[in-house]
Amino acid sequence: MDRRSLGQDGTTVSAIGLGCMGMSEFYGPRDDAQSLDTLAAALEHGIDFLDTADLYGSGHNEELIGRFLKGRRGQVVLATKFGIVREPGVAGRRIDNSPAYIRAAVEASLQRLGTDVIDLYYMHRRNIDVPVEESVGAMAELVKAGKVRQIGLSEVSAETLRRAHAVHPIAAVQSEYSLWTRDQERSGVLAACRELGTTLVAYSPLGRAFLTGAVTDTSSLAADDFRRVNPRFAEDAMAQNRRLAEAFGDFAADLGARPAQVALAWLLSKHDHVVPIPGTKRRSYLAENAAAASLRLTAEQVAALDALFAPEAVAGTRYNEAGMKDVGL
């Protein structure tokens, strides 16, 4: 497994990481035994960059990762996040970036994870009512205290990244980035990351499994699967997006590779400062994803995929109206 830089302090991570959110919610029922086996498989395949958040499963995901880390902490680069708050028994959520909340949230995450330091601590979403300088200042204090090694932001604008970086180096920006979600190319975030030495950590690099060809409609998904209410998986959008997936499947077949591998190889071949973190609960899919690190695409193949997945060819927004209000701030 190739390795890539994470931020500016010399830390390196596997070129492909593992997003752990789906092990706890949003993509069907939990299976902790299966998830723990998949986490073990990640290390077997050289994947050592694990991504979680206090939001996922309302703490369950961090607790699951904490169970896995016992006796393995030194083998893993651990990332988690704070800022999206769901109160028990209260519908909806709120965003809290206040310094007081940050100090409380990190202690709770450290306890659930069973560790005394977090390698990369992200602000999950931004509340524009709190100046980013205040939030990053509080995160920088955690670094000084030895509770956090590096800090990151998620789904922010290039302007916010630069403001934050002026307070403390930002190791990573996590944003949705894939063949069918290319907002970061147009927003200037990718360019700002390169300029500042910040890694772009790409979540949902397989388009929430759509790019794999495994999801052609939502009828087979669990009743509580997030994709059932995602605009890109709605019936009208799906008809258009399915044509893209079919053409992409043919492209991958011509290369003798799986679509998921080509989707990941596109990111890795196009940018040397991007680390994709595909999520999976299954050992077999993890092995398939890991193999993508050795697939090299030519400049001509990258350009062909760029053209196939031109942003205007993709139907539907990546979140509903409420969710879209929280990104790019």
* Tens-binned pLDDT, residue by residue, of the chain (329 aa): 999 999 999 999 999 999 999 999 888 889 999 999 999 999 999 999 999 999 999 999 999 999 999 999 999 999 999 999 988 766 678 999 999 999 999 999 999 999 999 999 999 999 999 999 999 999 999 999 999 999 999 999 999 999 999 999 999 999 999 999 999 999 999 999 999 999 999 999 999 989 998 888 888 888 888 888 888 988 889 888 999 999 999 999 999 999 999 999 999 999 999 999 999 999 999 999 999 999 999 999 999 999 999 999 999 999 888 888 889 99
pLDDT at 252: 97
- For residue 175, is it within any domain? yes
- For residue 272, is it within any domain? yes
- The alpha carbon of 258 is separated from its chain's Cα centroid by a whole number of angstroms, namely 21
pLDDT at 321: 85
- For residue 64, is it within any domain? yes
pLDDT at 256: 96
pLDDT at 89: 66
Structural domain boundaries enclosing 61? 3-206+266-296
- 56, 203, 285, 319: the active-site residue: 56
Question: Which position has the token pair 């680390």?
Answer: 275
- For residue 113, is it within any domain? yes
Distance CA 215, CA 222 (A): 12
Pairing of strands 84-85, 94-95: antiparallel
- For residue 25, is it within any domain? yes
- For residue 174, is it within any domain? yes
Distance CA 92, CA 73 (A): 34
Active site residue 56: yes
pLDDT at 90: 67
- For residue 202, is it within any domain? yes
Backbone angles phi, psi at 13, to 5 degrees: -135, 165
- For residue 184, is it within any domain? yes
pLDDT at 118: 98
pLDDT at 91: 64
Count of the separate structural domains present in the chain: 1
Pairing of strands 148-154, 199-203: unpaired
Strand partners, 199: 172
Residues in the chain: 329
The CATH code of the domain that includes 131 is 3.20.20.100
CA nearest 95: which of 320, 323, 321?
323
